Amino acid sequence: MIRCLVLLLSLCFSVAAFAQGPDTPRPDEIRALQSCLQKEGLVFNRKVQCIGRAFESCTMTVKDRTSTGISKCYARETALWEKMIAAAEKDLRLRQDKPTMTEMQEANVNWKAFRNNACNIPFTMKGEQRMAPILELECFNRVTAFWALQLSEFTAPREK
């Protein structure tokens, strides 16, 4: 039974890997972000410089330089940061106690509310309606990246 479950899961992941949609990060975009994060090591402020690396890699190769193409590039980088958040949350669930996880869940709800409200501001600004979708995605990506970096700080190995 367990072998069947493992086989089924591996097949699902294989199919998902082949189903590259427009918001799925490409290998070069993944490498751009990962190499930057590895180069910057454990220093949070230096890792912040990596925000936008996958987006930049995407915009260099995207054929559609309209707001639609730019939106896809932001969505692809945001997907990478969201994977980083999921990995950090999983690590915290495995290593922390219930009070810490309760705190984490509350922080996650508050963070999502903040991100969604803050990144909606461009739609309410006078004269920014034309650029609002791009400004919203840029904000969404940046705030998601900061949360991913913060969570990775919580899960980083500490010197004793």
Does residue 107 lie within any of the structural domains?
A: yes
Q: What is the pTM of this model?
A: 0.77
Mean pLDDT value across the chain: 81
Q: Is residue 44 part of a domain?
A: yes
In a domain, 9, yes or no: no
- Identify whether 120 is part of a domain: yes
Q: Which residues of 19-33 are buried (b: 16+ CB within 10 A; e: fewer)?
A: eeeeeebeeebbebb
User: What mean pLDDT is predicted for residues 61-73?
Assistant: 81
In a domain, 148, yes or no: yes
Where would I find the H helices in the chain? 2-18, 27-40, 44-47, 53-61, 67-95, 98-118, 121-124, 132-155
Give the whole-number percent of the chain exceeding pLDDT 70. Answer: 82
Residue 55 lies in a domain: yes
Give residue-wise pLDDT tens across range 107-127: 999 999 999 999 999 888 877
- Number of structural domains found in the chain: 1
Whether residue 84 is predicted with pLDDT greater than 60 in this model: the reply is yes
Q: Which domain holds residue 128?
A: 23-155
